[in-house]
Structure 1
Amino acid sequence: MHADPRPQELVTVRTFTQLFSSTPRGARLARRLVAHRLDAWGFPYDSDAGRNVALVVAELAANAVRHGRVPGRDFRVRLLWQGTGVVRVEVADARSERLPVLREPDAEGGYGLRLVAAVSERWGTEPRPYKVVWAEVSVRRSG
């Protein structure tokens, strides 16, 4: 066997996964920990990438708490960055029968998914035994 003469390109894959209590405090903590993790990955708190990913997490976590809460069950946040220009955000909750719908805002709300759609390249849902709402956010490192 001969070694492959082509240089191997290193691929950086970073993930962050954490369970949070299905409470408003859990949603706030999710946003804060994600902002901290992105800063550690080279996307500062005050960068567009840091702000946009934190906004997506804040909105999806708030929806998980408000619409996906099942007593005694947590929600999960997962970030995936493969060294490319996109961070994938996934928020999973226990209410798979309640998929989010982009709707016209009214006095009761409806702005959260519109914000997610505005700052994401794309977003969607994956019904599994639990529900996953995901969004892919464009990112660029500062510097």
Structure 2
Amino acid sequence: FKNATGFFGDVYYPLLEGVVNLFFSALLAFYIGLPGIIIGTIISNVLITLIAKPLYLYGKMFGRFNALKKYLSFVLKPLIFSFVIFAVFYFTREQIIFFKVSNWFDFISKLTIVSLVSMIIVFAVFYADANFRSFVKRILRVVF
């Protein structure tokens, strides 16, 4: 989007991301050690790359009032779907984990069941989206 719109005013965001990263990494490293550095890096990436930069770009493209609405509609729907898919996958894995894996056939059977359930859920959730349907049709045209 940035190249297409020509809005390159976010040149100070990498500097801000570095400052936020150093602050949170140092603070969390003091309290919880090495994992704190990783968490600090994740926090800075989420705050700047996932929130601040897109809001700046959407604000320039759609105006201040529509920016948050457009961005949230773009990000929240896939995020919620991802959490639902992860929860179902985790539940499915917990149910299947009771089966003992004593050979390769059992392992492949278990892997196939978990993968099929996850794929069915992904298709069921995302097939309502016109872009996803178009993507599936293109893949089917190439394969068949």
Q: TM-score, with normalisation over the residues of structure 1? A: 0.31
Whichever of the two has the greater Rg, that structure is 2
* Richer in helix (by share): 2
Q: TM-score, with normalisation over the residues of structure 2? A: 0.31
Q: Could you say which structure has the greater relative contact order, defined with CA pairs below 8 angstroms and 6 or more residues apart?
A: 1
* Richer in strand (by share): 1
